[in-house]
Amino acid sequence: MNATSSHDTGPRAVLSARGLRRDFSGFVAVRDVDLDVRHGMVHALIGPNGAGKTTVFNLLTKFLQPTAGSITLDGHDITRATPAKVAQMGVVRSFQISATFPHLTVLDNVRVALQRPNGLASQFWRSLSVLDRLTPRAEELLRMVGLDDARHGLAADLSYGRKRVLEIATTLALDPKVLLLDEPMAGMGHEDVGTISKLVKSIAADRAVLMVEHNLSVVADIADWVTVLQRGEIIAAGDYETVSKDANVREAYMGSEHA
């Protein structure tokens, strides 16, 4: 793959942003961001604190409206869509803090996600037992991520690492085209990081993954493409090898004396 151009070669871009910009009353949090999240690839978004990574996430998933620029999903313009609509179209995100439904069981966490695509979300006149038909699929997803032993416990009682895993299982329940993971390994022990890395890599086999991550060894390990953000702007993009040698990136990460 050509690492120096803006990577218009390679697998098809599922989610694309062009000229993305967001102002917060005079302060420009994100400017001129071009991104292509490609099918079958893990795309890492890195950068120092306050670089605007989470803002980019919020813009792509429409939790924030961009001030300028456009976002397309499979060629359809989704710049003005609502967050729920974008999720329905197959762009599903996780959050920096773990996002489970704490007082639902692990199994119900996944089943809640399955309800919408299966058209079982708004029936207020039917018994809960109609959801039983979602159980096999939910259990299959839990088995895939190694949570099947905990399925009847509350999500709140899971360890931090397993909560993040549950989140991924819940996200996968929607069979998304694009997964956006906001710091999936943050605050996690060594073993958990290994497990989740493998999981993320395997997920990306037949969908696109965009991931914000601070742990650079994880990025080196699993990212096929890296975009580096600093003060809201892209300062480098390419595979990890290229990006890690980039003078701007080294400066951003280590300070000018090392540049």
State the minimum distance, in angstroms, from the CB of residue 179 to other proteins: 11
State the minimum distance, in angstroms, from the CB of residue 36 to other proteins: 22
Q: Which of residues 138 and 234 has its CB atom nearest to other proteins in the complex?
A: 138
User: Per-residue contact track with other proteins, 110 to 139, x per CB under 8 A?
Assistant: -xxx-xx---xxxxxxxxx-xx--------
User: Per-residue contact track with other proteins, 91 to 110, x per CB under 8 A?
Assistant: -xxxx---xxxxxxx--x--
Judged by CB under 8 A, the chain residues 50 through 79 that form the site for other proteins are 61, 63
State the minimum distance, in angstroms, from the CB of residue 154 to other proteins: 6
Q: What is the DSSP string of the chain?
A: --SSS---SSSPEEEEEEEEEEEETTEEEEEEEEEEEETT-EEEEE-STTSSHHHHHHHHTTSS--SEEEEEETTEE-TT--HHHHHHTTEEE--SS----TTSBHHHHHHHHHHTTTT-SS-SSS-GGGGGGGHHHHHHHHHHHT-GGGTTSBGGGS-HHHHHHHHHHHHHTT--SEEEEESTTTT--HHHHHHHHHHHHHHGGGSEEEEE---HHHHHHH-SEEEEEETTEEEEEE-HHHHHH-HHHHHHHH-GGG-
Q: Which of residues 179 and 234 has its CB atom nearest to other proteins in the complex?
A: 179
Judged by CB under 8 A, the chain residues 238 through 257 that form the site for other proteins are none
Q: What number of chain residues touch other proteins (CB under 8 A)?
A: 41
State the minimum distance, in angstroms, from the CB of residue 7 to other proteins: 27
Residues that bind other proteins (CB under 8 A): 61, 63, 82-85, 87-88, 92-95, 99-105, 108, 111-113, 115-116, 120-128, 130-131, 152-154, 170, 174
